[in-house]
Amino acid sequence: MASKSPRRSLRLRIFRVTRALICFVAGILVGAGLLLYGQVRLAEYFRDEVFSTFFLWRAIGDATYFLQGTDVQVALTLSKLPAESIVHSKRLAITLIVLGGELMLLLPFLKPRRRR
């Protein structure tokens, strides 16, 4: 009976490490998804601002790209990005958030079995 105790202790340690890794991966997935979603929303905002600008000012901004500030350069560059890539990035961000959330919801159900 004493030989089962170290084996059970090892199983419990492995279980705890596995559970911690699942929690870590879930946090990484949710964090990466939220970061990507924030970047996509910022890109959409920049694109909307550029497209709502008078076309002549946009043309002048494109012509004097190297003279513009960093934020204007980023906005002009993002306005040339295809809309499909932004939609794809938004779907990916939501998928990462959902997968990480599902892993987090799984954690309370991972409990070690009690042996009698």
The predicted pLDDT at position 3 comes to: 53
CA 7, chain centre distance (Å)? 39
Mean pLDDT by 10 residues, the chain (116 residues): 68 89 96 97 93 89 89 88 94 98 91 70
Position 4 scores a pLDDT of 60
Give me the pLDDT at residue 116, please.
60
Domain residue limits, the chain = 7-109
The SS3 of residue 64 is coil
pLDDT at 57: 87
User: Looking at residue 43, what is its pLDDT?
Assistant: 93
For residue 109, the number of C-alpha atoms closer than 13 Å in the C-beta half-sphere is 5
Give the Cβ contact number of residue 40 at 10 Å: 20
Distance CA 36, CA 94 (A): 9
Q: Which residues have CB under 8 Å from 108's CB, separation 6+? A: none
19 and 107 Cβ atoms separated by less than 8 Å: yes
